[in-house]
A and B are shown apart, each in its own frame.
Chain A
Amino acid sequence: MTTLSFVRARKPGPGAARNPHQPYRKALATTRGRIGLALALLVTLAGLLAPLLSSHVPTAQSGEALLAPGSPGHLLGTDDLGRDLLSRVLYGIRTDLEVIALAVPLGALLGCAFALLAAVHPVLDTVVQRVFDLVLAFPGLILALAITAVLGPGRLPVVVVIALAEIPVFGRQLRAGILVQREREYAVAARVGGTGRARLLLRHILPNCADPLVVQLAVSLTVAVFLEGAMSFLGVGIRPPEPTLGNMLSQALPYLAQAPHFAAGPLLVVTLLVLGFSLLSEALNREIRR
């Protein structure tokens, strides 16, 4: 009987037996991905190593050198209160990263939890959807103002605002993914095969929804940098003397004409960081959609 002769799997030619994580590795191997990763790592490292790299205490004021341009003593110069700008930028990165690293994953996890909850029952789905609608209906920075009014300025409102803004973003993305994947034949096949609901959702469907979420994560990091910056800029986020990239820019604004170096440092760093994240997200997106 010819049909029962062994049929061997095709030889694993180039790309034939790709494991599911390969798109990520491939994305990081593209020029775009490499530059993005390098930029993000560079800025992150600078922030992490701030205590080693900086020569001054970031909040220490010196009376004699106000708004001084770059010099051997102060590589990036000093600000209006005579504080060393390099140290402030480095610590500013650190503060930004700490806030973002807490807020974005928090928002992502909560959003995904909501989406999973929505998948359990149609009634829950309606409730969760209205919750997403509600959060989305508040323009982001207005929400930030209101929340700061309740919580007072500092890190907490920044984390809350960023996380809150990310909840519907991730939630809707995952919910849409689950709705599509749930109707795919492999999911029906697993159900018919006896796989239970929870296992079906977590073991079968969730992994197949992961790719767009990873891209979204990279996008959200850039959004978070923006939000932190904007909040500090408006004075409702983290306030001086603690340095953040946003409040440094805000402070530098009045001195743009007389001391452009004041704004240059934080401006460059914010741009590089965001550029790095967005290049990464783009590289991932291209590879995943292929």
Chain B
Amino acid sequence: MRGYLLKRIPSALLVLLLASFLIFAILRLVPGDAAEVLAGPDAGPESVAAIRGQLGLDEPLLAQYASWIGDLVRGDLGPSYAIGGQVADLIGDGLGATAELTLGALFFTVTLGLLFGVLGAASRRRPVRVVVHALTTGALAVPPFVTGVLLVLVFAVGLSVLPSGGRVGLLEAPDLELQYLLLPSLCLALPSAAVLGRYLKDSLERAFAEDYIRTATAAGVPRRRLLWRHALPNALPPVVTLLGMQTGQLLGGAVLVEAIFAWPGLGQLAEQALNRRDYPVVQDLLLLLVAVFVLVQLLTDVVYAALDPRIRWE
């Protein structure tokens, strides 16, 4: 297990390093640099050049990159150019909101996914399987922005039972926050839950076709126990890998869901920062998201290894 981790960590770090290069490069390709934005449309070339010098944008690219990474390592994210305030504060605020949303969605993804998968593969009632199948097909066929719009239409506009958007903060008013969180996280979770459910169903069906299930059946193990004790532990490891990938999808989807439900998260911040060409915010934000994704992948692998004794024992 330790050896396994030792092997995975360098490749994760490598991806992170490459991503930082890429992020840096992309943002240098954007037409019009931060100095022009900061100086405003009426500023003359001298003042732009002055600001450029202030920000260090006239230094060689490699030096700029080095100072960015150097500051990051020291924990100094610096001030935001355009939005105002410290980058660390902006990202910190957004991170809280997005984490809340993503974790909420993860909760729905896992519970609904398990429900769909287990019922779809093991229910003895055909109608149940058909309904589960229809639900997953539906959740996959309707794009999240449409689901979001529909959810708002039904629960906020039609029934008026839930707010149509916004956030109050979990610490300020937990019960109210849950109401605000419900629709966005469900909207974000539905496609992932459907994918997970489908995959778990396939995985369970494959496990049920294995020889060891025949062995257990021949030993008289009851059907319910076959599912939970014999088939599921074998079906889960690949599902965990998929869940890791889906967490990445959730992070990406959050941008969209945040826009629909006016959720003040990282997605909103990213959109705002990109529109105003606020380099420091965008750079740090992108790298943070990539880092989270890479970390999730690493965690996934650890969980996978813990679930499979063949890896655990090596």
Interface residue ranges, A against B (CB under 8 Å): 130, 133-134, 136-143, 145-150, 152, 222, 225-226, 229-230, 233-234, 246, 249-250, 252-253, 256-257, 260, 263, 267, 270-271, 274-275, 278-279, 282
Contact = CB atoms under 8 A, between A and B. Distances in A.
Interface of B: 11, 14-15, 18-19, 22-23, 26-27, 29-31, 137, 140-146, 149-150, 152-153, 157, 245, 248-249, 251-256, 259-260, 267, 270-271, 274, 277, 282, 286, 289-290, 293-294
A230 B15 contact: no
A256 B165 CA distance: 14
B292 to A, nearest CB: 9
B145 A275 contact: no
A148 B270 CA distance: 12
A271 B141 contact: yes
A233 B145 contact: yes
Nearest to A145: B274
Contacts, number: 126
A134 B144 contact: no
B274 A267 contact: no
Contacts of B282: 146, 149
A18 B144 CA distance: 40
B256 A275 contact: no
A250 B149 CA distance: 9
Contacts of A250: 145
Contact of A149 (B15, B152, B252, B274): B274
A137 B145 contact: no
A82 B38 CA distance: 39
Contact of A253 (B18, B260, B286): B260
A234 B259 contact: yes
A230 B256 contact: yes
A147 B35 CA distance: 20
Contact of B248 (A139, A146, A230, A260): A139
Given A150-B26, A256-B152, A145 B270 contact: yes
B259 A233 contact: yes
Given A146-B26, A234-B255, A138 B289 contact: yes
